[in-house]
Structure 1
Amino acid sequence: MSFDSSESHDDSPQRPSKTQRKREMQALQALGEQIIALPEGQRAQLPLSDDLLAAVEETGRIRSHEGRRRHMQYVGKLMRREDLDAIRAVFDRFEQERQRHDLAFHKLERWRDRLIDGDQAELEAFIADYPDVDRQTLRQLIRNARSERERGKPPTSARKLFKLIRDTAGV
């Protein structure tokens, strides 16, 4: 009688291998680490159970390396009962907000560079976009930033110019 192993396993449900379960547990622990690393204001936006919140807060009091390792295993175990899709959705929203903020910041940096490197047309374009800007301070900071650049000085005025642009744009 020949024994075909493929036939006997077709009827039984496939259980994840020990390696796969370990990978999943490590992924949950990593997500727990991300939650722990968040500022408290962002952490409050996550849909977490009271047990997990208590465990996350407890993590800050653990000093021993081995104690923290065991505690992270516990956090990973608690993560199995959480709504992971909802948690990941909030993390995605955080990432989108960070990207929007970075894009706005880069736009302001480009404005600063255009104003320092450019001519009167760039200045007029900025004033047209942001009519509430303090024009006298803006012109003075641009002049000072150009002078600092020419003399090889630290970009103190360029930083002040960026701050003025940022405050004017409301970012």
Structure 2
Amino acid sequence: MKSDKNPNLDDEDYISRSEIKRQMEALKHLGKRVTELRPDQQDKIPMDSVLRAAMAETRRITSNGALKRHMQYIGKLMRHADVEAIQAALDQFDTASQAHNQKFHALEQWRDRLILPGEAGNEAVEAFISEYPSTDIQQLRQLIRNTRKEIEKQQPPTQFRKLFRFLRETTDTDISDQQD
């Protein structure tokens, strides 16, 4: 169907103004989600220096009108950003996302393998160290020993949680080092 009013309607690449507005609103919403992250989490989001500075500036703004204008500006900057990479990094922090759940389960599996007694546990330690070379080996072995003792004595899982936290911090640090 060819329109006499708008010759672009028969063009395959035509995007309506409404669709463009929806896309811009989605970018603005994505930018808002990034601004709601903690500063250490924002550092792990891949974005250019101008966008990073605008995200940091958001923390200082208290006026609703100014905040609304600033979010418009962030949406405008997001047009030139790698949205897929930002979304993927954001999913790592979103507890409802599948990527976050997979990462969490992988860490649980590492922890369970590391506290195995005997040779199986030692092999898991060596595998973890080879996969994450920035690991503090001495601290890892100490946490594993303490966790094994805690399980043996049937104590509350304090060391168990500390080991998990250490694994999460180590993998996060190693992944951010690889991105740089």
TM over 0.5: yes
Gapped runs of 5+ residues in structure 2? 122-143, 168-180
Q: CA deviation digits over 1:100-141, x for unaligned, max 9?
A: 336756xx9xx9xxxxxxxxxxxxxx88488832259824x4
Gapped runs of 5+ residues in structure 1? 112-125, 142-160
Counterpart of 1:5?
Answer: 2
Query: Which stretches of structure 1, 4 residues or longer, exceed 6 Å deviation after superposition?
Result: none
State the Cα distance separating 1:5 from its structure 2 match. Answer: 3.3
Aligned letter for 1:82? A
Counterpart of 2:57?
Answer: 58
**Inter-partner Cα distance in structure 1 for 2:21 and 2:158:** 49
Counterpart of 1:100?
Answer: 103
Q: CA deviation digits over 1:56-79, x for unaligned, max 9?
A: 111111111111111101100110
Aligned letter for 2:2? S
Higher Cα Rg, which structure: 1
Q: CA deviation digits over 1:77-97, x for unaligned, max 9?
A: 110011112222323444534
**Inter-partner Cα distance in structure 2 for 1:11 and 1:18:** 15
Q: Using a 3 Å threshold, how does the CA distance of structure 1 residues 48 and 134 change in structure 2: closer, same or farther? A: same
Greater relative CO, 1 or 2 (CA 8 Å, sep 6+): 1
**Inter-partner Cα distance in structure 1 for 2:158 and 2:8:** 67
Counterpart of 2:32?
Answer: 33
- Work out the number of aligned pairs and report it: 132
1:134 alignment partner, one of 113, 137, 149 = 149
Q: CA deviation digits over 1:123-161, x for unaligned, max 9?
A: xxx88488832259824x4xxxxxxxxxxxxxxxxxxx0
Counterpart of 1:163?
Answer: 158
